[in-house]
Structure 1
Amino acid sequence: MLMCYMARCLKVSNTSSLKKIHNFCFSGVITMCIRYLLIEKQNESSHFIRSSCNVFALCIGLMGCTGMGIVATFQELSVPSVHDIGALVAFGSGVVYITLQSIISYKSCPQWNTYLMCHIRMAISVISCIAFIPMIVFASKISVTKIDWTPDEKDYTYHVVSAICEWTVAFGFIFFFLTFIRDFQRVSLRISTEIREDSW
């Protein structure tokens, strides 16, 4: 019964839920940009990672947010192929992003991160990677796109396993982002606007 409930909850159908997903996309972009700027600043003194790796991680993360925006914009029953591509981009890029951030965290130890935090991030990344594979495999075996499922239907088991894996990956992203809280508490951001006299 719990599996059936989780599978139903996973499917987004109303407009307010879609707006929430767009808000999560925006929050994700802000979080990733702050993380990028933080690593750049830390790297100025420590040189623990190439700047291009940090840029690459940011681009992958932004791709994931774009995929999430596609998922929210194109509902599963309306345009299933576009929705599925968006989901693949969102989850695939998200898994790569958190794995890269875990590696970056290890590179920055012990000056900028504790080994415990690095282990936690890597554990979340590994669990998300492991859940991502069956999510794709079982989702590809589902022959019909629908919202409400009953246990006696064909492909029900594939749907439930895929949905559980999807929830696992999604919560992995949330918990991973929560590990940034301590890092962000040590940061202050300022926006500086200056008009040059010679530009007119």
Structure 2
Amino acid sequence: MWWFQQGLCILPVALVLWTTATFIFAYITAVVLRHVDPLVPYISDTGTVAPERCVFGIMLDVSAFLGVATMYVRYKQVQALTDQESRLHKLNLLGLVLGWTSSFGMCIVANFQKTTLFSMHLVGAILTFGVGALYILVQAVLSLYMQPHIHAKSVFWVRLCIGGWTFASIISMFVSSVIMYSSLPGVDVAHKLHWIPGETGYIPHIVSTISEWSLALSFVSFFLTYIRDFQKITLRAEADLHSVHLYDSSHYSITPSFNHSETSPLLAGGI
């Protein structure tokens, strides 16, 4: 059995690889078609103009779905490992809500381009990165309470450092964006896809874009910490029949030749 076939670690692996591929594909396509500048454009700018915005939206929606599945498995795992801790159960549930909210924000970012409806795109970005950062913080706190009996202290420190990296990127991006917008009064920055070195607002723009890519990288890096944990969990779906037939009326009394319940893994291949 390969390492990615152990437990459900295929979920965080798929999430990381697919999301990374989304960013790289959109960037290469946008640069080749000269829709953006090669030097560190905004991630959203690489998915603004057709045809890359069409594929970018679809791929990012898939990433959001993988995120929802990954966060749910993490929730069930922590729930099983902390059976007697009601405080951790509440914190774990909070993490699930924050994570799913962040994934919903990713769908908004994917389907509302900033040049089409900037206000909705901004809401999606806040939900994705802002609420997502809170999700990382909650998971770091959970890791603090779960060590050393459930996992090593190093896991907590890695997740805490990634959380600090995330918040530092958010602060840097926010400050540089405020400076950039304030230095360009009357300019429609949302529709500005090309920048000339030395022009007003160029330096804050570069700092802002680097911060955004750093922020995205911190999110991807965080889910890498789930791989070893997910190798130790498997979820199964059980079908419980309430009737021996599928007719609307109840006078049928067909004797079934099969079991009334069926259990199988959520993912095929014995994962």
1:7 aligned residue (41, 44, 54):
41
Contact 1:4 1:160 in 2 (8 A): no
SS of residue paired to 2:39: helix
Instruction: Could you tell me which runs of 5 or more consecutive residues in structure 1 were left unpaired when the two chains were aligned.
Output: none
Q: Letter of the aligned partner of 1:140 in structure 2?
A: V
* SS of alignment partner, residue 33 of structure 1: helix
Which of 138, 159, 169 aligns to 1:131? It is 169
Count of residue pairs the alignment pairs up? 196
1:8 & 1:176 partners in 2: Cα distance?
A: 21
Whether contact under 8 Å (1:64, 1:90) holds in the other structure is yes
C-alpha offsets along residues 50-100 of structure 1, whole Å, 9 cap, x if unaligned? 311111111111111111111111001111121112111110011110011
- Aligned mates of 2:199, 2:134 — CA distance in 1: 34
The correspondence for 1:21, drawn from 31, 56, 60, is 60
Aligned CA distance change for structure 1 residues 40 and 77 (closer, same or farther; 3 Å): same
Identical-residue share of aligned pairs (%): 30
1:59 corresponding residue in structure 2:
97
The verdict on how the C-alpha distance between 1:85 and 1:40 changes in structure 2, with shifts beyond 3 A counting, is same
Asked if residue 164 in structure 1 is aligned to residue 210 in structure 2, the reply is: yes
Which letter maps to 2:78? I
Question: In 2, distance between residues paired with 1:124 and 1:180?
Answer: 13
Which structure shows the higher helix fraction? 1
User: Which protein is bigger by CA-based radius of gyration?
Assistant: 2
Matches within 5 A, 1:102-181: 102-143=140-181, 144-145=189-190, 146-181=192-227
Could you tell me how far apart the structure 1 residues matched to 2:58 and 2:159 are?
28
Aligned to 2:107: 69
Contact kept, 8 Å, 2:88 with 2:142, in 1: the verdict is no
Give me the whole-angstrom Cα distance separating, in 1, the residues matched to 2:119 and 2:198: 26
Structure 2 length-normalised TM: 0.68
The alignment yields a C-alpha RMSD, in angstroms, of: 2.0
TM norm structure 1:
0.90
Match of 1:37 among 76, 98, 105: 76
> Of 237, 240, 246, which residue of structure 2 is paired with 1:191?
237
CA distance in 2, matches of 1:98, 1:37: 17
CA contact (8 A) 1:149 1:156 kept: yes
For 2:40, give the aligned amino acid. M
Query: What are structure 2's unaligned runs of at least 5 residues?
Result: 1-36, 182-188, 245-249, 251-271
Q: One-letter code of the match for 2:139?
A: Q
* Equivalent residues of 2:112, 2:120 under 8 A apart: yes
CA apart distance, 1:9:
5.3
Q: Does the 8 A contact of 1:106 with 1:115 survive in 2?
A: yes
Give the letter for the 1:5 counterpart. Answer: L
Which amino acid letter does the alignment assign opposite residue 18 of structure 1?
A: G
CA distance in structure 2 between the aligned counterparts of 1:51 and 1:9, rounded to whole angstroms: 35
Which of 78, 85, 101 is the aligned partner of 2:139? Answer: 101
Deviation at 1:10, TM superposition (A): 5.3
